[in-house]
Amino acid sequence: MQVAKEEVEKMDEIDLCLGTNEKKDIVQYVEKYLQKQEQSQIDDVFQTKEYSDFGSVTYTEKVRAVIKVQDGCDRFCSYCLIPYARGRVRSRKPENVVSEIKSIAQKGIKEVVVTGIHVASYGKDFKKDYQLIDLLEEINQIEGIERIRLRLNRATFDK
Ligand code: SF4
């Protein structure tokens, strides 16, 4: 949607178009659409400088949770649309990540899968020097978490 707005909006089957920045508020957009008060909304994703935090989500697996900690990519590989669709690197605040994992550890989750669009870039957008390894070390201290997995997608770990 973020990279092909005009083409998608022409499709009769499509009622409402939302961009990357609007995902967090999808319920409100749909409700407004149903009341005929709101049309499609696709903001310029490159204007977004901060991670859009969805807060705690519901986990369906009993002992494992996938935790997204980062969005966007700054690498602009020639064949890839992701930076145009997702924007620049934005990292979720470590205190929010840790808080969520502590909360789910208390509910019995023992394994977390840390992921993002280019998770190796985690922390690149922070003013302080805080990288993925720092986040992993904090997660490792959380009582009840017995395994941490990294899901790196296709990106290389090159930091
Ligand atoms: S590093 Fe991965 S996500 Fe980023 S532009 Fe290259 S292929 Fe796309």
Residue 155 has pLDDT above 50, yes or no: no
Q: Is the pLDDT of residue 52 over 60?
A: yes
Query: 0.75 exceeded by the pTM?
Result: yes
pLDDT at 44: 78
CB of 76 closer than 6 A to ligand 1? yes
Considering the segment(s) 48-151 as one domain, its CATH architecture is 2-Layer Sandwich (3.30)
Domain residue extents for the chain: 1-43, 48-151
Mean pLDDT of 118-137: 96
Identify any residues that bridge with 149 across adjacent strands, giving them in sequence order: 113
The proportion of the chain whose per-residue pLDDT surpasses 90, expressed as a percent, equals 53
Q: Is the CB of 85 under 6 A from ligand 1?
A: no
Please tell me if the CB atom of residue 155 comes closer than 6 angstroms to any atom of ligand 1: yes
For residue 155, what are its two tokens? Answer: 């990106």
pLDDT band, very low/low/confident/very high, at 156 (cuts 50, 70, 90): very low
| Cβ–Cβ under 8 Å, residues 50 and 72 | no
- pLDDT at residue 159 tops 60: no
- What's the confidence (pLDDT) of residue 58? 62
* 41: helix, strand or coil: strand
Contact 85, 129 (CB under 8 A): no
